[in-house]
Amino acid sequence: MNQYSCEHAMSSSRITAHFQGIWVPMVTPFLDGDGDIDFDAAQQLACELAASGIDGLVVCGTTGEAAMLSAAEQTMLLDSVLEAVGPRFPVVMGIGGSDTRGVVATVQRYHDHPLAGLLISAPSYVRPSQDGIVRHFQAIAAATDQSIVLYNVPARTGVNIEPQTAALLARDSHFVAIKEAGGKLQQLGELLLDTRLDVLCGDDALLLASLSMGGHGAMSAAAQVRPDLYAQLYHLVRQGRHGAAGALFKTMLPVIRLLFAEPNPAPVKAALAMQGKARDALRLPMTPMSAAGQAALAAALEPLMELPVWTASDRDAPREGCLLQLVSPANIMPAVRQDDHRHHG
C-alpha cells in the first residue's frame, strides 16, 4: 500500500478549485560522481521553499530534469518531497509523454498520492491536431480523480494548445488551470477572457505583465532563487501597488534573464550552488552553466541577495523602505525573452 493512502492522505477524489500565487518547479539535486538523486538536499530545498511565502511546489517538471529520471526515481523523489513538506502544503506532479496510453498509465501510478494536482503538457514531438490534444487530455481525465493543470509550452512540445482547445477542456471540472508558456501575451489574455481556468505564467520574464493583466500567478523556475521576492511581487500586484511591483520587478529582471541565458535548469542549479543549497550537477545531455555565465550570474545575484527578506506577515504592510527607492517605476525595462526553449520550468 502506498504510504500516503492512510490517515495523512488527502482524498484522491479531491479537486483543487484554484491554482493561484507563486508555484516553484523544483530542481532535482544530484550527488557528485555517480549522479544519484540527493534526497536530503531535495527535502531541505522543499522545506525552505515551502516556508518562503510561495503557494506550492512542482516536482518533476522540466526544471526537475524529469526526462532524465527513471519512473522509479520520479516516484521516490515525489515521496521524498511529500514526506518533507507534509500533505498540507500543495505539491503538483509533472507528467509528460507522447503516447496517450503511456501517460494514462503514469497518471494512475499517483492515484493515492496526496497531490494538489498533475501538471501535464501536450504530447511532444508528434505534433497532434487540436482534436488529438483534446482527446489526449480527455483520456487522461477519465483515468484520474486528480486536478489537472494544462501545460502549454509549444517551444518544447512542437504544438500549441489553442485557447479554444483550453476552453473546451475546461468544461470538464478536472481541468482547473493552465501554465501558459507560449510567450504570447495575446494568447494569455484570451485564456483569461474566454476560459474559466486559472492562468499561470510560465515565462518568467513576462511575470509582471501577466499579473498586471489579471493572471492568477506563475509556475516560475527562477523563483527558486529568492522565492520570497516573487511572492512579494504577486501580493503587490494583488494590492494594486503597481509602481512598487514594477520597481521590484526591475531589480529582479537582470537575474531572471541570466537564469535563462543558457538552457534551464543549468543556471538555476548554478545559483543554488552559489547559495550552498544544491550541487552544480546535472545529468546529460544537460550540462552546467558556462564559466562566463556563472561569473555574470554571481555578480547579478549580489544586489538581489541584499534585498530585505519578505515574509507572509508583510503582505498587508506598506513597504516604502530602501527597496522601492532603488529604481524609478517609470523606467521599467521590457521583458525581452531570448531563446524560447530555454525559458520554461
pLDDT at 340: 35
pLDDT confidence of residue 14: 53
CA–CA separation, 209 and 193 (whole Å): 16
**pLDDT tens track for 166-224:** 999 999 999 999 999 999 999 999 999 999 999 999 999 999 999 999 999 999 999 99
Active site residues: 151, 179
pLDDT of residue 312: 78
| Spatial contact of 200 and 218, defined as CB atoms under 8 Å apart | yes
- This prediction's pTM: 0.87
Domain map (residue ranges) of the chain: 21-342
The three grid cell numbers given for residue 171, joined into one nine-digit string = 468544461
Determine the pLDDT at residue 129: 98
For domain 21-342, say whether CATH 3.20.20.70 is its number: yes
* Residue 247 one-letter amino acid: A
Nearest of 235, 186, 181 to residue 213 by alpha carbon: 186
Would you say 239 and 212 are in contact if contact means Cβ atoms under 8 Å apart?
A: no
Nearest-10 Cα torsion for 259, 252, 315, 114 = -10
pLDDT recorded at residue 337? 31
Using 70 as the pLDDT threshold, list the residues of the chain that sit under it.
Answer: 1-15, 17, 33, 315-345
The per-residue pLDDT for range 138-159, each reduced to its tens digit, is 999 999 999 999 999 999 999 9
Judge whether 323 and 307 are in contact, CB under 8 Å.
yes
Residue 161: its pLDDT value, please? Answer: 98
Q: What confidence score (pLDDT) does residue 332 get?
A: 31
Report helix, strand or coil for 44.
helix
**Structure confidence at residue 273 (pLDDT):** 97
